[in-house]
Amino acid sequence: MSILVDKRTRLLVQGITGREGLFHSAHMLDYGTRIVAGVTPGKGGEWVLEGKVPVFDTVAMAVEATGANCSVLFVPTRFAADAMLETAAAGIPLAVCITEGIPVQDMMRVRRMMDLKGTRLIGPNCPGLLTPGACKVGIIPGHIAEKGKIGLVSRSGTLTYEILYALKASGQGTSTCVGIGGDPINGTSFVDVLGMFEEDAHTEKVVLIGEIGGTDEEKAAEFISEQMTKPVVAFVAGRTAPPGKRMGHAGAIVEGGTGLASDKIRVLEAAGVKVAEHPEQIPELLQ
């Protein structure tokens, strides 16, 4: 069992003919993901990946021809907001945006439209989704994870990879990994994903990877305390981050005394979450 993506996912790749889009599409296809179409304006009618995937000029045309129900975006920053709006307008229920550097004002407009259209957005500035053994949407390396019963949700791409591999090395597998991204405005929150894992009968435990900045971890702690029955283990990156300095993600910044790692750890522990001091401790805390 999994959340969001599985073997039935019919994937559309926006920006498939670009360098990044083509590279990662090949890896997704090799993993077993059903890529049914690509979209690059002006290149409709072409075929890529050794003639396995047709390219369309618009998302609407691709959806009509292939029945795509998920889109992943490898679109340059200046076009990414419009590409996400096109995804929502075409009625695709799930979009995963890998692109980083999208302005906050643009994301506010995109988020409003996607909410109106009923399209769930993962990202932007995220590594994507992985359901081991079934479907890979994005840039998470498939070989570092094995199928299992631990759900993983993370704001950090690099830590996601490290912890997936640590779980595999300890003999523990993953149901689905969701990289929600670290931008100030994104499409899916910790609370959203925690709710999905809580309802998934085949996810028994959950790992939450947070970082400094914002209040998402505090909201997650409240949700865990009030609504979750499954054990949650967490790690919060940025314990030593200096105030006012951005650390990697656009949302990873401590300002005005808020967003501190110490505050996030405190509220998570108060909610009954075991918080690791180092990522390597997570497999042990799960056991």
So which residues are the catalytic ones? 249
111 and 121 in contact (C-beta within 8 Å)?
yes
For 38, residues 6+ apart whose C-beta sits below 8 A from its C-beta are 12, 13, 14, 16, 17, 21, 25, 48, 53, 54, 55, 56, 62
DSSP state of 142: G
**Count of CB atoms within 10 A of residue 81's CB?**
22
Q: How far apart are CA 244 and CA 212, in angstroms?
A: 11
62 and 12 in contact (C-beta within 8 Å)?
yes
Tokens 């209040």 belong to 215
268 and 227 in contact (C-beta within 8 Å)?
no
86 and 62 in contact (C-beta within 8 Å)?
no
Q: For 52-102, give the DSSP string.
A: TEEEESSHHHHHHHH---EEEE---HHHHHHHHHHHHHTT-SEEEE-----
Q: How far apart are CA 214 and CA 34, in angstroms?
A: 36
Q: How far apart are CA 162 and CA 83, in angstroms?
A: 31
123 and 97 in contact (C-beta within 8 Å)?
yes
